[in-house]
A and B are shown apart, each in its own frame.
Chain A
Amino acid sequence: MSAQDAPPIGEADATAIPPASAAASEGLTSYRVRYITWRVLLYSVITLVGATMLLPLLWMISTSLKEPGAVLLLPPKWISIPLQWGNYPKLFDVLPFDLFLINSIKIAVFATVGALLSCSMAAFAFARMRFPGKNIIFAVILAMIMIPFHVTLIPLFKLYRDIGWLSTHMPLTVPFFFGTAFGIFLMRQFYLTIPQEMVEAARIDGCSFIQIYYRIFLPLSKPGLATLGIFTFLGSWNNLMGPLIFLTKVETMTITLGLTLLTNQAGGRWELIQAGAVISILPITVMFFIGQEHFIQGIARTGIKG
């Protein structure tokens, strides 16, 4: 996969000409020049864009390690010695960040488990079973994707208030156990790639549908489950509006919501605010490193089919 192995498209024919005559070898030199120019240009552009993407995040880390005096320094310094690791423990004095982290993990794990269970099951029925009204139900689910979430927001708030779910983690976890339109869609696409012959063979061997789902489809769809799991976890972790509306007690808040509180509590203390932001994205970044293949494939898959 080295860069030299792959000339830009359209230049392949130039390499095919053997340098027999002087004219041909001259053509080859100009090809080299063009090739190198093109490469330099390519790498400059993508490095510039890459830097634009990465520098804000690095600046966040840099700021989080400064003492208050060094934050408002002009010209700004990227690394100011001594590094103030103490900013991080200080956060936990300002707000209960440990609770925020626990709450976020709890909510994200429950939401993910719920979505995996419910979506993988319902999608199986849509992909591989026949029952009356299947297509109508599936069409309704697809239509659900189109309905903006804010239409149901206020009635759900009233519902959760009436059944005493406000300031609990129920509104942010329980609905996932009933399936999400996105998850069912994703899992169904995945199941459709598993050959129907497998279902038939298993049926002849006396497998029930539950067994086929549990013993054949679940093990075979691990990449699909991984994608759904990552997306659900991410969505839950980064969700702001849900926690903002449903969680009013500080001790029930998630890290994402807690971070917005920090801006009020810490005033203009940018080093503390950025430290909080770093803490909030650290777990999710680790997850991204572990599951990035599934994450990227998941985007491509849902995008093309959508």
Chain B
Amino acid sequence: MAQSQALTRLAVRTKIQEIRWHRYEGYLFVAPLIIGIVAFIFLPIAASLYMSFNKWDMVSPPELVGLKNYARLVSRDRLFWKVLGNTFKYAGWIIVPSVTFPLILAALLDRPIRMRYLYRLAFFLPLVTSVVAVGLMFRWLYDGEFGLINYTLSWVGIDGPNWLSDPFWAMPAVAMVTVWQGLGYNMVLYLAGLQGIPDHLHEAATIDGAGPFSRFFRITIPLLTPTMFFILVMSVIGTFQTFGLIYVMTQGGPINSTNVYIYYLWQMAFGSSKMGYASAMAWILALVIFTVTMIQVRLARLWVHY
């Protein structure tokens, strides 16, 4: 009797210990993650903030200068304001086409299509192609003398500019490549959104006498505004961090007309070895992205229907 009681007690105690241990078993699964976050994200973020208060050329020891990097960027670096402006301009060229074109395309493709496979191939192949390959390809297409684009324009009597060496045209030319490449991606997002619109809404509107266009503008578009918002926010964040296309296509030229924020940051850090200065730039950009995103979230209340 006493023996079996002792055994039960032992069993219960083991069980409790087991349950206690299970409480922490999850840490086993997330341990690598936590180490990774600390080593590759937390510590670097702290270090980056500290570096931004230093003057450091990677060779001599860092020298603490307080807020001087920030002050110099904002008050004395004219190129800083130019690249910031360029970044906004670049986003401006990209946003409208990359929100609207894929929407029209998705609305057209949201039905059975013959040779679907071929269209799918056409829309997605650019997406898996690296920015380097895409950039080199378009540099050749944009060539002023022998490029295919100017040759095609000459059919309709337009004497195309030397796109990438023209201070005005270089920026929209690069921006259009981004739109071209992202078309398939945004189209899939819209198609997924379209599938979430219940058929009975369209049917009810049809019975009430609404034509295809008024149904598109009064049912489809309002119900797609969450998708639009997502694409808008992601496009803005993406364009603010553009580097590859600029590096491959224009190297920031001509006369800094396509020099965007990250490209300038990269030049400062790895070209001029101004690590502290570049860190300060990184923090300013993070702040800009955060502010712009918050403004978009605020404005979303006015036009996004959830």
Residues of A within 8 A of B (CB): 1-3, 5-6, 8-10, 13, 42-43, 45-46, 49-57, 59-60, 63, 71-76, 118, 121-122, 124-126, 129-132, 134, 137, 140-141, 144, 146-159, 161, 175, 177-179, 184, 209, 213, 234, 237-238, 240-241, 244-245, 256-257, 259-260, 263, 270, 273-274, 276-277, 280-281, 284-285, 287-288, 292, 295-296, 299-300, 303-304, 306
Contact = CB atoms under 8 A, between A and B. Distances in A.
B104 to A, nearest CB: 8
A52 B227 CA distance: 25
B136 A155 contact: no
A228 to B, nearest CB: 15
B289 to A, nearest CB: 6
Interface string B32-56: 1111110111011101100100000
Contacts, number: 275
A227 to B, nearest CB: 13
Given A59-B137, A245-B270, A144 B37 contact: yes
Contact of B41 (A57, A147, A256): A147
A299 B189 contact: yes
Contacts of B202: 9-10
A148 B37 contact: no
Contact of A299 (B119, B185, B265): B185
Contacts of A287: 128
A209 B25 contact: yes
A237 B29 contact: no
Contacts of B33: 118, 122, 137, 141, 178-179, 184
Interface in B184-233: 184-185, 188-189, 191-193, 196, 202, 206, 211-212, 215, 227, 230
21 contacts: A8-B212, A9-B111, A49-B105, A49-B123, A53-B126, A53-B183, A53-B184, A56-B137, A73-B146, A125-B26, A141-B37, A150-B285, A155-B48, A159-B47, A178-B36, A259-B130, A274-B137, A277-B133, A288-B124, A304-B192, A304-B196
A69 to B, nearest CB: 12
Nearest to A177: B32
Nearest to A175: B40
A59 B212 contact: no
Contacts of A130: 23, 26
A292 B248 contact: no
Given A42-B108, A260-B247, A300-B191, A152 B125 contact: no
B140 interface: yes
Contact of A273 (B44, B122, B136): B136
Contacts of A276: 136
A49 B121 CA distance: 12
Contacts of A131: 23-27, 30
Nearest to B212: A10
B136 A156 contact: no
Nearest to B47: A155
Contact of B211 (A10, A75, A179): A10
Given A144-B37, A154-B282, A280-B132, A121 B189 contact: no
A306 B234 CA distance: 10
Contacts of A277: 132-133, 136-137
A155 B32 contact: no
A42 B113 CA distance: 10
Contacts of A299: 185, 188-189
Given A45-B108, A285-B128, A150 B265 contact: yes
A22 B131 CA distance: 60
Contact of B23 (A3, A60, A126, A132): A132
Interface in B167-193: 180, 183-185, 188-189, 191-193
A contact face: mostly helix, strand, loop, or mixed: helix
B244 interface: yes
A257 B104 CA distance: 35
B109 A46 contact: yes
B126 to A, nearest CB: 6
Contacts of B191: 300
A237 B111 CA distance: 34
Given A75-B151, A147-B286, A303-B189, A241 B244 contact: yes
B111 A8 contact: yes
A50 B119 contact: yes
A155 B282 CA distance: 11
B58 to A, nearest CB: 8
Contacts of B234: 306
Nearest to A59: B148
Contacts of A300: 188-189, 191-192
Given A124-B29, A303-B230, A46 B43 contact: no
Contact of A288 (B22, B125, B183, B185): B125
